């Protein structure tokens, strides 16, 4: 176990506190503000993440198994309002009433009573904890292995499971990483389903959905790829959807016999390549699905992709191995230095020669890449990411890094040594003309104060410090993803 060390820019005991449950639901005007909220910053930041890590004696095995809790921060006239609510999933409601876990989590959380009470229970707990987006007049809480939950944007009350006008059937997955095509005005997302077989073995189905501005599903197409797949995120260009099929295998037996969660049965296969699946968005193009290969690695998140000269470039955060928690260990006892860091890579795919060239862009440990939404699927210049405080090795995210992909210039804003950052969300400045004309908004956890804050940074210049720091009166556990809406 790691102990407090003067060499580290963080205190592991303080870091750990950020993974405490926040069962309380708050609703208040934020009054403790350092700096000034820009008066032209008007709109709403929605974010999602696990809010509950235990019920009475029972604790989750992994933070990704925590129930989804939505935070909403509304900005208007230089003021801000905070609201958080748990998504009232069927499981959350039932477990709250029972005072114990009634469902198994994908990442290993078990029901009480040992393996016997878990064996052959393959019921997934749809915990709605990964992303929240407002599209077509609907606020949707997403979790990649099941259907979305629809919420009331004003109260964050849960309205129920959303089937997108009968497009989804009960149990159909709708991923937690929709992308917004800025020119076609589409929300593009996918659903991944394992379980079919042919003579070559297990197959995985990928269904792609495109929704117009009214939230109507205007395109839906399904494809089958060989093998097992764990695909968390994807990328789009005007003509393609791009998926990385990480080299992993799946042994279902420990899951079926109640010994492990499904996610814990995913094994990294370093000897196998990563497959890159390129699916045309337009069937009338007559193009077929292409599968290219690159060296082994594990990717959760992509920053962006774009087409140029018969090629597709994609920037992604890649790990040398799939991060697993050790048997019998608490996830809060993470020994950061023993895990490989996520690093930003550029993959350049030649669709004619089928060659893939990969280059390390940034060795610093990074996660949660984001860009100006106007550049999604198109050439771009700036990427922003949560980043470690130090240049090498694996460590918690304490900083926000801006990379200029044209000049290589970097800017770093840091919350170290007591602060830990979540995903930054880019908000374009109304009427802005430069790609970095806007703000980055991120939730920060301060381990010394045991409270969270929302920071607003000027995306054009991170070095000048936060434009505004909005102190919350309590902590919010480390979260996953968020989105901005001008409404």
State the residues that interact with ligand 3ON by CB under 6 A: 64, 106, 129-130, 144-145, 192, 194, 230, 232, 262-263, 266, 300, 367, 397, 478, 480
> Is the Cβ of residue 107 or residue 378 nearer to ligand 3ON in the bound state?
107
Q: By the 8 A CB rule, do 180 and 373 touch? A: yes
Pseudo-torsion of CA 402, 405, 409, 413, nearest 10°?
0
> Is the Cβ of residue 62 or residue 72 nearer to ligand 3ON in the bound state?
62
Q: By the 8 A CB rule, do 148 and 131 touch? A: no
> Is the Cβ of residue 232 or residue 381 nearer to ligand 3ON in the bound state?
232
Residue linked to tokens 């381990």: 447
Distance of alpha carbon 259 from alpha carbon 254, whole angstroms: 5
Least distance between ligand 3ON and beta carbon 166 (Å)? 22
Least distance between ligand 3ON and beta carbon 397 (Å)? 6
Least distance between ligand 3ON and beta carbon 389 (Å)? 14
CA distance readout (Å), 245 to 192, 310, 341, 390? 11, 22, 19, 30
> Is the Cβ of residue 33 or residue 203 nearer to ligand 3ON in the bound state?
203
Distance of alpha carbon 266 from alpha carbon 248, whole angstroms: 6
Least distance between ligand 3ON and beta carbon 28 (Å)? 25
Least distance between ligand 3ON and beta carbon 145 (Å)? 4
Phi-psi region of 447 (alpha: psi -120 to 50; beta: other; left: phi over 0): alpha
Structure tokens at 126: 């749809």
> Is the Cβ of residue 61 or residue 438 nearer to ligand 3ON in the bound state?
61
> Is the Cβ of residue 145 or residue 453 nearer to ligand 3ON in the bound state?
145
Side-chain-side CA neighbours of 406 within 13 Å: the count stands at 6
Least distance between ligand 3ON and beta carbon 186 (Å)? 23
Least distance between ligand 3ON and beta carbon 236 (Å)? 19
Q: By the 8 A CB rule, do 202 and 194 touch? A: yes
CA distance readout (Å), 148 to 29, 142, 145, 252, 486? 29, 5, 10, 25, 22
Give how far the C-alpha of residue 345 lies from the chain's centroid of Cα atoms, to the nearest Å.
Answer: 18
DSSP H helical ranges for 315-440: none
Select from 365, 387, 382 the least CA-distant residue to 442: 387
Distance of alpha carbon 41 from alpha carbon 461, whole angstroms: 17
> Is the Cβ of residue 205 or residue 280 nearer to ligand 3ON in the bound state?
205
Least distance between ligand 3ON and beta carbon 122 (Å)? 10
> Is the Cβ of residue 84 or residue 129 nearer to ligand 3ON in the bound state?
129
CA distance readout (Å), 144 to 198, 276, 411? 25, 19, 33
């Amino acid at each position: 176990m790691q102990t407090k060390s003067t060499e580290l820019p963080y205190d592991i005991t303080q870091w750990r506190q950020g993974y405490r449950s926040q069962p309380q639901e708050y609703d208040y005007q934020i009054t403790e503000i350092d700096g000034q909220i820009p008066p032209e910053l008007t709109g709403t930041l929605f974010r999602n993440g696990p809010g509950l890590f235990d019920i009475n004696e029972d604790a989750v095995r992994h933070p990704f198994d925590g129930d989804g809790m939505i935070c909403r921060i509304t900005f208007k006239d230089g003021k801000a309002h905070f609201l958080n609510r748990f998504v009232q999933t069927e499981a959350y409601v039932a477990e709250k009433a029972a005072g114990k876990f009634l469902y198994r989590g994908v990442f290993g959380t078990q029901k009480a009573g040992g393996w016997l009470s878990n064996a052959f229970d393959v019921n997934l707990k749809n915990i709605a904890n990964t992303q929240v987006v407002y599209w077509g007049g609907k606020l949707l809480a997403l979790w990649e292995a099941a259907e979305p939950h629809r919420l009331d944007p004003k109260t964050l009350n849960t309205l129920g499971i959303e089937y997108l006008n009968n497009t989804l059937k009960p149990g159909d997955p709708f991923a937690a990483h929709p992308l917004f095509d800025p020119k076609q005005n589409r929300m593009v997302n996918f659903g991944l389903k394992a379980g079919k077989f042919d003579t070559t073995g297990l197959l995985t189905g990928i269904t792609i959905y495109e929704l117009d501005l009214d939230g109507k599903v205007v395109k839906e197409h399904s494809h089958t790829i060989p093998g097992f797949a764990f695909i968390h995120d994807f990328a789009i260009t005007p003509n393609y959807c791009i998926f990385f099929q990480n080299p992993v295998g799946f042994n279902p037996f420990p899951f079926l016999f109640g010994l492990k969660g499904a996610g814990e049965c995913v094994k990294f296969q370093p000897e196998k390549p990563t497959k890159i699946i390129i699916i045309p968005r337009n069937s009338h193009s007559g193009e077929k699905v292409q599968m290219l290969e690159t060296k082994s690695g594990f990717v959760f998140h992509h920053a962006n992709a774009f087409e140029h000269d018969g090629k597709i470039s994609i920037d992604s955060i890649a790990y040398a191995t799939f991060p697993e928690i050790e048997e019998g260990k608490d996830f809060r006892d993470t020994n950061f230095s023993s895990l490989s860091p996520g690093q930003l890579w550029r993959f350049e795919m030649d669709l004619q020669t089928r060659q893939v060239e990969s280059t390390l862009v940034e060795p610093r440990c990074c996660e949660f890449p984001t860009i100006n939404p106007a550049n999604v699927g198109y050439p771009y210049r700036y990427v922003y990411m949560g980043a470690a405080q130090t240049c090498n090795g694996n460590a918690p995210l304490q900083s926000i890094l801006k990379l200029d992909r044209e000049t290589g210039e970097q800017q770093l804003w840091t919350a170290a040594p007591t602060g830990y950052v979540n995903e930054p969300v880019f908000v374009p400045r109304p009427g802005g003309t430069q790609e970095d004309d806007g703000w980055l908004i991120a939730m920060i956890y301060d381990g010394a104060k045991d409270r969270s804050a929302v920071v607003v940074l000027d995306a054009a210049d991170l070095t000048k410090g936060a434009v505004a720091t909005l102190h919350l009166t309590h902590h919010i556990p480390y979260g996953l993803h968020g989105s901005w809406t001008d409404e």
